[in-house]
């Protein structure tokens, strides 16, 4: 699967390739979906949510340019798979704080991440559209659900010189944006059309 992603140009750095090869994606899936773990496709994980397709995880990891020792905020822990891939990329000196609004998914993700040995990932239950000011600023922010616009609190909690990747748009599809903060200014680049489940929260979509 990873060779396929490389062939399509979606994985181009050795670091991202190694991280994808290290994380056992099947562990993050319910029994019923495990046989499909190494197909490049999103899959259901419960509560109407999905684990992102490997090509999307790869694309976001490449766009974020993760480095050893960085502190990363993820919005939308879901299965915990993307957090595990990012944990490989920031190494044991780095830290991933990943937020999830569904307590049941957060509980499952916490358990699997611990079992798989990712001690540097912390799962936080809450509305990620407000970020997690307690541990800000973050070197990187990865949003894995679609927002109507870049939530102000996330832009604020991004470190000077930091990068955020976030799908922004309507409920049907979004543009994957790379947002950089330089000299206090926010600069935005469109990386292409994507489809994510909605970011639901105070600075996201309403829950109905
Ligand atoms: N990164 C995940 C994919 C998650 S799908 C993985 O690797 O499996 C997006 C997730 O965002 C869903 O689990 C959804 O419940 C969550 N979500 C949506 N709105 C949220 C919010 N405001 N705060 C935190 N999580 C949210």
* pLDDT tens per residue across span 14-41: 999 999 999 999 999 999 999 999 999 9
Pocket flag, ligand 1, residue 153 (CB < 6 Å): no
Predicted model pTM: 0.98
Which two three-digit tokens encode residue 207? 């829950």
Atom of ligand 1 nearest to the CA of 202: 22
Rounded distance, CA 26 to CA 68, Å?
Answer: 25
- The two beta strands, 174-182 and 185-194, are antiparallel
76 touches 144 (CB < 8 A): yes
pLDDT at residue 175 in the model: 98
Q: 128 phi and psi, to 5 degrees?
A: -70, -15
Q: Is 204 helix (H, G, I), strand (E, B) or coil?
A: coil
**52 labelled catalytic:** yes
Q: Is the pLDDT of residue 184 over 90?
A: no
CATH class of 2-194: alpha beta
Ligand 1 within 6 A of CB of 98: no
Q: Is 76 in the pocket of ligand 1 (CB under 6 A)?
A: yes
Q: Are residues 65 and 163 in contact, defined by beta-carbon separation less than 8 angstroms?
A: yes
Q: CA torsion sign, 55 to 53 to 137 to 169?
A: positive
Q: Whose CA is nearest to atom 13 of ligand 1?
A: 78
Closest CA to 76 of 137, 143, 163: 143
Report how far residue 87's alpha carbon sits from residue 74's, in angstroms, rounded to the nearest whole number.
Answer: 11
**Residue 208 pLDDT exceeds 90:** no
Q: What is the pLDDT of residues 152-175, one digit of tens each?
A: 999 999 999 999 999 999 999 999
Identify the active-site residue in 13, 35, 52, 207: 52
158 has which bridge partners?
Answer: 138
Ligand 1 centroid to Cα of residue 1, in Å, is 24
Predicted confidence (pLDDT) at residue 42 exceeds the cutoff of 80 = yes
**pLDDT tens digits, one per residue of 76-86:** 999 999 999 99
């Amino acid at each position: 699967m990873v060779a396929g992603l490389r062939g399509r140009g979606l994985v181009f750095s050795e670091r991202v390739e190694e991280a994808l090869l290290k994380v056992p994606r099947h562990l993050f899936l319910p029994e019923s979906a495990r046989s499909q773990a190494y197909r490049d496709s999103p899959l259901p994980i419960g509560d109407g949510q999905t684990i992102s397709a490997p090509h999307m995880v790869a694309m976001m990891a490449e766009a974020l340019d993760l480095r050893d020792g960085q502190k990363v905020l993820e919005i939308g822990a879901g299965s915990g798979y993307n957090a595990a891939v990012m944990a490989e990329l920031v190494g044991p000196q780095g830290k991933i704080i990943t937020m999830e609004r569904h307590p049941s998914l957060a509980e499952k993700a916490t358990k699997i991440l611990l079992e798989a040995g990712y001690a540097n990932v912390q799962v936080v239950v809450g509305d990620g559209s407000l970020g997690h000011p307690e541990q800000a600023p973050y070197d990187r922010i990865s949003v894995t659900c679609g927002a109507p616009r870049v939530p102000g609190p996330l832009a604020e909690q991004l470190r000077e010189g930091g990068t955020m990747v976030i799908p922004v748009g309507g409920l049907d599809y979004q543009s994957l944006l790379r947002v950089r903060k330089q000299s206090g200014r926010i600069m935005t680049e469109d990386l292409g059309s994507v489809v994510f489940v909605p970011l639901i929260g105070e600075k996201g979509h309403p829950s109905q």
